[in-house]
Amino acid sequence: MTTTSAKDTAATAAALALGDDALVLSHRLGEWAGHAPVLEEEVALANIALDLLGQARVLLSMAGDEDELAFLREERAFRNLQLVEQPNGDFAHTIARQLFFSAHQYLLYGELASGDGPFAPLAGKAVKETAYHRDHAEQWTLRLGDGTDESHARMQRAVDALWRYTGEMFQPVEGVDVDWTGLETAWLEWTGEVLRRATLTVPEGPRTGAWTAGAGRQGLHTEPFGRMLAEMQHLHRSHPGATW
Amino acid sequence: MATAAARDTAGSRAFDARADADDTADHERAFDAAVAADERIEPRDWMPDAYRATLVRQIAQHAHSEIIGMQPEANWITRAPSLRRKAILMAKVQDEAGHGLYLYSAAETLGTSREELLDKLHTGRQKYSSIFNYPTLTWADVGAIGWLVDGAAITNQVPLCRCSYGPYARAMVRVCKEESFHQRQGYELLLALSKGTPEQHAMAQDAVDRWWWPSLMMFGPPDDESPHSAQSMAWKIKRHSNDELRQRFVDICVPQAASLGLTLPDPDLKWNEERGHHDFGPIDWAEFWDVLKGNGPCNEERLSRRRRAHEEGAWVREAAAAHAARQTNGETGATRA
């Protein structure tokens, strides 16, 4: 009994962490609608946002009621990585965030899909979507990195700026039974290779800071996140108990 | 397919003006015969210059409307009140970008380019539907747009599936399927609000009150003030007059409003047994022309946002082009200027 419930609690917490990652990044990508640099990217970014929202809905539903969890929790109760809550910035920042996160998600879901844990069914479907997201981010990293001088400079700036949020992705999440060290090694190798092909420099700075090491998973977020939630939750909170 | 005659004459090019004139007359006869026989005109077929120009104008305006039309709805993506509604809305806005892409492709078969058309949109030389110059002030507006605006668009567009120009007609078949789906989702959104709390019901009614008349204006000016209508109908680009389609739309909406439990903001709206149609009140055409001229509530904002997205994205498009050129030349990053 005790063992089972501890396991359930861990699984619920893990579903929340992975679900919040997908929910928050989906929201950020949704902010691009109507602003993308080219029509094809309106379609692509919305497509990725929808995939992530689909994953979030499955994961949050494993942890409770999806809408209560999305709309009625306060900032300190969210368990997403700080990386995914970072503002969109310019297109290069959005692509760097996508590159880092989708490469992580691809490896994580790949491993979860091959196991028999509670996340295996979701991961089996999600890993296919994530392969597409990763490919999209990789292609744009190459285009921007190895494009014009301006795009190269912007892409390098974006990679440098977001690098310090990448260590957090490999802080073990209780209830997610994978080889975290192995994931991190594979991630560093793949990401480094893409950055080099894009003629970019792999940043030398630390991949965690005093405030980023495992912080999002503990409900410690960055300032832009509170405003993002205020916008996301405002309507739902204005009509307590209503159904939509 | 145009008639065999149109295709045969296209091959024989005359050298003197007299023969050119004969040639054009032959082409015109073949074109008219193809249209009369309800055959499809295809990109390589001869067509009158004015037919080509009308189609470019109409298809471009249609494409622009899909692209500008993303804005009023995207305005609510980040505030959608449930994850299910958020997913539906994101999918819809994504579909609109896709419709814009189909339509620009259809326009390009007439010898123009997407860049050229976007430039005309950005400089105000081509229009988009006046409806998107109205603001989405509440969540219920998303439902009202789905039910009324998409409903009006479908009423307009279903006959276009039989339009004489093949690429446009085929684009419309695909667009209409997705639009019908959006329209049902909008209706369902309003129904949930109408049957929800008193506040939600009031929100739904307020949205319908604000979107009803602008939706009726989507069918364009009355028949006697519609300069392009007669020619477009003769060419079978249009199949029904503006007023006919508007009447059809009103007749469809009245029972739907009743089943939604919402009213339509028109005291003159009533069933006319004799005509077999609903009579409805006068449309404020002064408002219509004013919005069309650029004086609507959101004209400035919509266009400047579109321009801004395009301008701010210029470096991304340049990067993609530079990268593609380098790939073609087999160069590596070391040669980047």
For tokens 């229009």, name the residue.
B127
Residue whose structure tokens are 């392969």: A131
The answer to whether B93 contacts chain A (CB < 8 Å) is yes
Counting every residue written for chain B, the total comes to 337
Q: Per the CB < 8 Å rule, is A30 touching B90?
A: yes
Output the CA–CA distances (angstroms, integers) from residue B59 to B100, B103, B126, B296, in the order listed.
10, 6, 11, 23
Interface test with A, best of B86, B298, B312, B331 (most A CBs within 10 A): B86
**Tens of pLDDT along A146-195?**
999 999 999 999 999 999 999 999 999 999 999 999 999 999 999 999 99
B47 occurs within a structural domain:
yes
Say if the Cβ atoms of A50 and B90 lie within 8 Å: yes
Contact B279, B269 (CB under 8 A): yes
> What does the pLDDT read at residue B16?
60
Angle between helices A120-145 and B314-328 (to 10 degrees): 80
Measured between alpha carbons, how far is B251 from A232 in angstroms, rounded to an integer? Answer: 38
CA B305, CA B321: separation in Å to the nearest integer? 24
Q: Averaged over B256-265, what is the pLDDT?
A: 98
Contacts of B310 in chain A (CB under 8 A): 37
Tell me the C-alpha distance between A70 and A79, whole Å: 11
Please, what is the average pLDDT of chain B?
Answer: 93
Chain A residues whose CB is inside 8 A of the B322 CB are: 147-148, 151
pLDDT value of residue A214: 74
User: CA separation (Å) from B46 to B4, B9, B19, B52, B277?
Assistant: 12, 9, 16, 10, 41
Q: Is B337 helix (H, G, I), strand (E, B) or coil?
A: coil
Residue A1: predicted pLDDT: 45
Smallest CA–CA separation between B32 and chain A, in Å? Answer: 37
What is the band of B17 on the pLDDT scale with cuts at 50, 70, 90?
low
**Which neighbouring-strand residues pair with B41?**
B165
- Residue A238 has a CB neighbour count (10 Å cut-off) of 11
Q: How far apart are CA A112 and CA A177, in angstroms?
A: 8
Q: Which CATH superfamily is domain A6-238 in?
A: Ferritin, core subunit, four-helix bundle (1.20.1260.10)
Q: What angle do CA B29, B35, B36 make, to 5 degrees?
A: 85
Whether A2 shows a pLDDT value over 50: the answer reads: no
pLDDT of B67 over the 50 cut: yes
Q: Note the pLDDT of residue B82.
A: 98
d(CA B246, CA B147): 15
Helix (H, G, I), strand (E, B) or coil at B106: helix
Question: Residue B140: which residues within 8 A CB-CB, separation 6 or more?
Answer: B189, B190, B193, B200, B203, B204, B206, B207, B208
CATH of the domain at B236: 1.20.1260.10
ipTM of the modeled complex: 0.96
Range of the domain at B200: 28-335
- pLDDT tens track for A199-240: 999 999 899 877 776 799 999 999 999 999 999 999 999 999
Burial A122-160 (b: 16+ CB within 10 A, else e): bbeebbebbeebbebbbebbbbbbbbbebbbebbbebbe
β B270-272/B277-279 pair status? antiparallel
The residues in B 120-149 lying below 8 A from A, measured between CB atoms, are 139
The set of residues, in sequence order, having a beta carbon less than 8 Å from that of B110 and lying 6+ positions away, is B43, B52, B55, B56, B59
Looking at per-residue pLDDT, the higher value among B19 and A24 belongs to A24
| pLDDT over 90 at A54, yes or no | yes
> In sequence order, what DSSP letters do the residues of A82-100 get, joined into one string?
HHHHS---SHHHHHHHHHH
Measured distance CA(B29)–CA(A97) in Å, rounded: 60
State chain A's mean pLDDT as an integer. Answer: 95
Interacting residues of B321 by C-beta distance below 8 A, sequence separation 6+: none
Asked if the structure places residue B329 within a domain, the reply is: yes
Helix-strand-coil split of chain A, %, nearest 5: 70, 0, 30
Distance from CA of A36 to the nearest CA of B (A): 6
Q: Specify the pTM.
A: 0.94
The pLDDT tens digits of the residues spanning B201-243 come to 999 999 999 999 999 999 999 999 988 888 999 999 999 999 9
Mutate to test the interface with A, among B65, B78, B114, B199 (most CBs of A within 10 A): B78
Rounded CA-CA distance B57/B107 in Å is 9
CB contact under 8 A, A53 and B77: no
> What mean pLDDT is predicted for residues B20-32?
88
Give the number of domains in chain B: 1
Number of Cα atoms under 13 Å in the Cβ half of residue A57: 13
pLDDT in tens, A62-76: 999 999 999 999 999
- Looking at residue B281, the DSSP 8-state letter turns out to be P
Look at residue B332 in the predicted model and tell me its pLDDT.
Answer: 63
Residue B1 covered by a domain = no
Neighbours of A234 (CB within 10 A): 13
- Site of tokens 């990789």: A138
Containing B279, the helix (H) or strand (E) segment is strand B277-279
Does B223 map to a domain? yes
**Domain assignment present for B23:** no
pLDDT value, residue B10: 46
Pairwise CA distance, residues B64 & B104, whole Å: 9
Q: Choose the mutation target among A26, A40, A43, A95 for the interface with B, i.e. most B CBs under 10 Å.
A: A43
Mean pLDDT, residues B279-291: 96
Q: State the nearest Cα–Cα gap between A107 and chain B, in angstroms.
A: 25
Is the pLDDT at B5 greater than 60, yes or no?
Answer: no
Instruction: Give Cβ neighbours of residue B25 (< 8 Å, ≥ 6 apart).
Output: none
Residue B13 falls inside a structural domain:
no
Tell me how crowded residue B135 is: count the other CB atoms within 10 A of its CB: 16
CA distance A196 to A154: 15
Q: What's the pLDDT band for B334 if we cut at 50, 70, 90?
A: low
Per-residue pLDDT at B2 exceeds 70: no
**Separation between Cα atoms, residue A156 and residue A164, nearest integer Å:** 14
* Inter-residue contact B331 to B322 (CB < 8 Å): no
Q: Note the pLDDT tens digit of each residue in B130-144.
A: 999 999 999 999 999
Burial of B167 (0-12, 13-18, 19+ CB in 10 A): buried
pLDDT by residue (tens digit) across A35-49? 999 999 999 999 999
